[in-house]
Structure 1
Amino acid sequence: MERAFVRRDERIQRILEIAIREGIVYVADMAKQFDRSKSMIGRDFNVLRDKGLVERLNGKAIPTGFPLVVAEADVLPATAMALAQLIGDNQAIILEAGAVSLQLAQHVSKDLRIVVVTNSPAVAMTFSNHPKVEVWVIGGKLRSGVLIPTKKEETQILQRISAALCVLGTCNLDLKTVSTPDSEQAELKSEMMSTALKVAVSVSDESLGSTSSYFVGPLNRITHIIPASDVSNKKLKPYEKVGINIVRG
């Protein structure tokens, strides 16, 4: 057990190191190791998630860019397949880094000719063997599995895309707004959703029904919610009443 005098920033760094070494970290294990509550460790995980260093799953986290095999238990193939039905031929889609986007990438038909814009190398690499898919990585272009660096800013790429679907990672949602704890993530999420006809957002039990520091956009821009497995139907009901579709496996 780590002693209580470890500063929070040191604890968060150690959690990240363990995640990179082991490929996965669990809230319960880290709470025991650092002698802290599960809710406190969960907030530490959220700090790492908001910096783009880990993907936050139900009770655990995995380093960004790792093959998210572990995510399959949390993001059911049926959920990914339901999202894939929203994508048509000759369309563009925007996928923010996250377990949902990676699962979706694994279930998009190879018969489709589409353009994909993403900030996730793992998602981009998943699409690299799709013969009819053109993949733009924010900061570069991926073709035949090779990342070709460019100097284009993320906003320049996103402003040129007219997307049929945007899939966002975990956000805070209440009945008026979409928000996030990180200012840079808020700006990117806002740019991503502004150009899309349909917007699907991932929510956890913690993030649904809550607000955070930085505004992403109004709730009426959201067309689909992708809930984590522990989000109750009762909690989702108010969002269904305002016309939002719930995507659940």
Structure 2
Amino acid sequence: MLTAERRQFILEILRRDKKVLSSELSAVLKVSEDTIRRDLRELAESGFLQRVHGGALLPSPALASYADRQKQAPKEKEAIARAAAKLVCTGQVVILDGGTTTLQVARHLPLDLQATIVTNSPPIAIALAEHPQIEVVMLGGQLYKKALVNVGATTVEALRMIRADLCMLGVCSVHPEFGISVANLDEAHVKRAMIAGAAEVVGLATEEKLDTAAPYVVQSIHALTYLVTAPTVSDRMLTSYKALGLTIIRDESA
């Protein structure tokens, strides 16, 4: 089998099974594990997969620009936002992470809701500026332009002073075995601080982000209290998440 054919086969297996193992590919393709590792490395460099110990997973779709991500799965994000917004109660302090899905959550908060929203996202702060009852706390830091969020030591230090009731986490990638991950190291530190500062953590994930991985690990899946996803996601796809004791929320009215 030619190299190109072998790599195409690897990608087909990855799309079908959501992961590949080096040892299994070596046996099926009758080549050494060194050859498979080289294939995976070069496919990862081209953005086709994310390498993990022993194999590879699908890559995160959140590697695209903020503008491009706003165009991805708009109906899914609105459904997720409707379900997530219902988790916010009057009087709560809520950390609202950056992202295009969390922006939709901000837009779906009821106009009579009295709460404090802490965010590192300029778009979210602007979206809530006209809300009559919500107090907005904007976290400072260095603007990570690709994701339009503030990151860095200043952001992390500010989060250490906050004890929130709820954290709405914008999920770049989530996997039952490899946990929550992102494409930027500074953003990983900020998300970790958000999780540490909240009593409950809500992960917001469209279907394309499930069972994927990015280079920088935030926390294990056990850091989440709830996983809010789209109603179109199949029960089969969510089985492994439920098995870990994670509460799954979907807006079935969508």
Instruction: Give the shorter-chain TM-score range.
Output: 0.5 to 0.7
Q: Is the 8 A contact 2:77 2:206 kept in 1?
A: no
Residue 211 of structure 2: SS of its match in structure 1?
A: coil
Q: Trace 1:12-23 onto structure 2 (pairs within 5 A).
A: none
Instruction: Give the TM-score taking structure 1 as reference length.
Output: 0.63
Instruction: Give the TM-score taking structure 2 as reference length.
Output: 0.62
1:243 Cα deviation from its structure 2 partner: 2.1
1:193 to 195, 198, 209: 195
1:128 Cα deviation from its structure 2 partner: 0.8
- The answer for the alignment partner of 2:129 in structure 1 is 128
Task: Name the structure, 1 or 2, with higher relative contact order (CA <8 Å, separation 6+).
Answer: 2
Q: Is the 8 A contact 2:60 2:173 kept in 1?
A: no
Give CA deviations for 1:52-106 in whole Å, capped at 9, x if unaligned. Answer: 8416xxxxx24xxxxx5876423134x3222122111111111122222111111
1:120 Cα deviation from its structure 2 partner: 1.7
Amino acid in structure 2 at the alignment position of 1:248? R
The answer to whether 1:54 aligns with 2:66 is: yes
Q: Is the 8 A contact 2:73 2:206 kept in 1?
A: no
Residue 131 of structure 1: SS of its match in structure 2?
A: coil
Residue 250 of structure 2: SS of its match in structure 1?
A: coil
Aligned pair in 2 of structure 1 residues 42, 76: CA closer, same or farther (>3 Å)? farther
1:201 Cα deviation from its structure 2 partner: 1.7
Give CA deviations for 1:143-190 in whole Å, capped at 9, x if unaligned. Answer: xxxxxxxxx921232112211221222223223632223211211111
The answer to whether 1:238 aligns with 2:253 is: no
For 1:205 and 1:69, the matched residues in 2 are separated by 15
The answer to whether 1:103 aligns with 2:104 is: yes
Instruction: For structure 2, list consecutive stretches of 5 or more residues without a partner in the other structure.
Output: 1-45, 50-58, 142-152
Q: Trace 1:1-249 onto structure 2 (pairs within 5 A).
A: 49-50=62-63, 53-54=65-66, 61-62=68-69, 68=70, 72-77=74-79, 79-139=80-140, 153-169=154-170, 170-175=172-177, 177-205=179-207, 207-227=209-229, 231-249=233-251
1:204 Cα deviation from its structure 2 partner: 4.7
Q: Is the 8 A contact 2:228 2:249 kept in 1?
A: yes
Q: Is the 8 A contact 1:179 1:214 kept in 2?
A: yes
1:209 Cα deviation from its structure 2 partner: 2.9
For 1:41 and 1:215, the matched residues in 2 are separated by 18
Aligned pair in 2 of structure 1 residues 137, 171: CA closer, same or farther (>3 Å)? farther
Residue 77 of structure 2: SS of its match in structure 1?
A: coil
Percent identical across equivalent pairs? 29
Q: Is the 8 A contact 1:174 1:210 kept in 2?
A: no
Residue 124 of structure 1: SS of its match in structure 2?
A: helix
- The answer for the alignment partner of 1:4 in structure 2 is none
1:223 Cα deviation from its structure 2 partner: 1.4
**Rg larger for:** 2
1:228 Cα deviation from its structure 2 partner: 5.3
Residue 105 of structure 1: SS of its match in structure 2?
A: helix
